[in-house]
Structure 1
């Protein structure tokens, strides 16, 4: 299936990087986070990508159009000829469509902007480009197909030191505990969408705020609860956390290893 990736945001909470590069190009180890995400999809056979570009999208184009695995994998220069020490992590079978979807469009607007590339697809995948996960895509997609809803997404309980609370209207607390122990789940992306989703979208609408609400009313929205690894890169602190994971060898998103 084709994979739509939303890459156009300005990453305002990552000023340390976003003034020079778009957030999808912020590195995790030796490669940008979007490469790791695409490698995950490719591992499960989904190798045709539609990148919805916006802020500094030309840099994303440049990265992939000039992609050179020798710059990020172990390699040698022997008698003037470069060679990789290992294979299997390159991208020769990927097809990438680069689409300028505007500087300030929301997710719904970016999806509508690439509708013409999905006209022959009954089902397609979509995701944000700043998160990584260890989900088994084959299993998840199979379950989504069995549910036979117009739209599906992964629900997660993100890591962190926050506490969730339950309180009465007057502020009296009846529960306080770690976020991970609560029943709170958030939208973790990794969407499986039928082409009928476009029938419930209008120009200018945010995908989750209006179209998904219509699907809820029609009981056409399904979520898959994922209890494994999931992490988003929203802030500089998140970037440092990813770097710590990578350097320590704790890389659960690398399902292709």
Structure 2
């Protein structure tokens, strides 16, 4: 009775620990098998099954790995019949099946030609490089070559320039520089966009007023004003002048909608960003932050 109560208690303790999902057949099978094996080993430890007999652990493996792999297991030939229940012998058979002998030259080609993809973070890129290097037999040069591939493979030329100018660059230093650069860029985007909605609202409001004025102006023009009325209209509304250099619109004299407004591009006053002459200020600020 006491033994039964103990078993129930253990089941409750490990009730939330599930077997790993079946081996995936999508993508490279060597990587799928390596991931499944790692998850299964974690499961054995977490569920307190690591100390169980090889026969029990083999049964757990076959129960988790899926029907398709059980059919593969049935084709394995063991030196001794009992080896079919030995977890080490069984996993080695699966290892040989999913991981045939590697072509080292080709594996290194994959590593040295890997470039950072669009939208791929620096951290994800390093993870991929580590995974590719695992089949290249680089030995003690692994960390150094991953660092070199990181520098050569990233797409941001500004960050690449900084990495190349860093003395005694290591993989950890390179990853840290890339991470800081990525965080800085995100912060800069938030800073530059912080006041955009308010300025956009002001601009839209001014655009609305100017459009209403221009509509009124067009209606009056089409209605056929003549003589003194037309002359007075043109004088009051600056009808025959060029577009304003501060707002880009035609408006009554001393009624510029840009007056008192701050430019989003250069932070100067009394002109809209569309008419700003300091076109390169924003780009220069960003470059100075990244250097």
TM-score (norm 1): 0.21
If you compute each CA radius of gyration, which structure gives the higher value, 1 or 2?
A: 2
- Greater share of strand residues, 1 or 2? 1
Instruction: Tell which has more relative contact order, 1 or 2 (C-alpha 8 A, sep 6+).
Output: 1
- Greater share of helix residues, 1 or 2? 2
